Amino acid sequence: MAYRLLFVCLGNICRSPAAENIMNYLIERAGLSEEIICDSAGTSSYHIGSPPDRRMAEAAALRGISMKGKARQFQIDDFEKFDLILAMDRENYWDILALDPQKQHSDKVKLICEFATRYQAKEVPDPYYGGREGFEKVINLLLDACEGLLNHVSDLNNGRKP
């Protein structure tokens, strides 16, 4: 059975689809496409059905990563469908946990930056209202965090405690 990851930001057009597509890129390179499945969602309904932001797509393309998908909103049943839910920032983290008042699933909700090894950031900043530099920074941070996440999930799948 595949390990399922869900990346979550506010609108699901910048950070979470970037994380999803970066992770899929890393998974494919590692030959783990059958073992790890990724998706992304937003805590808001602002952009449902929209493709990833073109500025994020351009920043990802510079690293050979294509951005696929359409925005969707986080649903309560995502708690059951996914093994690990990765919030881009604290606000997203708390918005997700608010949908689980019984705290049945709180152990599977984490901040993506917990898995970063080269960057000290605790949150992935929202680049939406900034310039190209912000999108580049987000891609670099997510590449680092997703590499650490892939190591974590690989350790879990190999029976080792991360």
**Active-site residue among 39, 78, 89, 126?**
126
The pLDDT of residue 148 is 98
* Burial (0-12, 13-18, 19+ Cβ within 10 Å), 91: middle
Q: What is the pLDDT along the chain (162 residues), one digit of tens a residue?
A: 899 999 999 999 999 999 999 999 999 999 999 999 999 999 999 999 999 999 999 999 999 999 999 999 999 999 999 999 999 999 999 999 999 999 999 999 999 999 999 999 999 999 999 999 999 999 999 999 999 999 999 988 776 544
Q: Which element (helix H / strand E) includes 41?
A: strand 36-42
Active site residue 9: yes
pTM score: 0.96
**Active-site residue among 14, 15, 72, 146?**
15
For 132, other C-beta atoms within 10 Å of its C-beta total 11
Angle between helices 54-61 and 15-29 (to 10 degrees): 30
Using one digit for the tens of pLDDT, what is the confidence trace for 108-146?
A: 999 999 999 999 999 999 999 999 999 999 999 999 999
CA atoms within 13 A on the CB side of 97: 15
Which residue bears the tokens 């050979």? 64
Domains of the chain, CATH where assigned: 3-159 (3.40.50.2300)
**Active-site residue among 9, 14, 38, 113?**
9
What are the DSSP calls for 109-121, one per residue? EEEGGGG-SS---
Active site residue 54: no
Active site residue 126: yes
The pLDDT of residue 159 is 64
